[in-house]
Amino acid sequence: MSEHPDAALIRRGYEAFGAGDMETMGTLMTADVIHHVPGSNPLSGHHKGRDAVLDLYRRLGEETKGTFRVELHAVLVDGRGHVMAFHTARGDRGDHGIEIQGGLFFTIVGGKISDIDECTQDIDEEDRFWG
């Protein structure tokens, strides 16, 4: 059974993220991509445009001194340009650590990621960690 192209796109994105390969990440997104981050912390909000989204990802690494990692568990597609990905995120920031379940809901347009809605197991825990 072959993997749907939208699922393969998201897997490539997770692999590039894990490798810190922002150049590849950028090629997978539309120029006007938006990543929506929930909560009330310094990373929360709507990161609009490829550069802003890539800056968000760089910041995840900087804020955790390179300890932030994401383990992908599942990728689900609807065949109409939507993908859900489920993962565990881990990292250390100062004297705080986090291990939390999360998910991303992607919209794919023209074979590229145009919108990313982020969900988390515990918004309050995320706010404490990133705050």
Q: Is the pLDDT of residue 83 over 80?
A: yes
Q: Which helix or strand (DSSP H or E) is residue 12 part of?
A: helix 5-19
Per-domain residue ranges for the chain?
Answer: 5-130
Indicate the average pLDDT of the chain: 97
> What is d(CA 52, CA 49) in angstroms, rounded to the nearest whole number?
5
CATH number at 5-130: 3.10.450.50
> What is d(CA 16, CA 20) in angstroms, rounded to the nearest whole number?
6
| pTM, two decimal places | 0.95
In which band, very low, low, confident or very high, does the pLDDT at 27 lie, cut at 50, 70 and 90?
Answer: very high
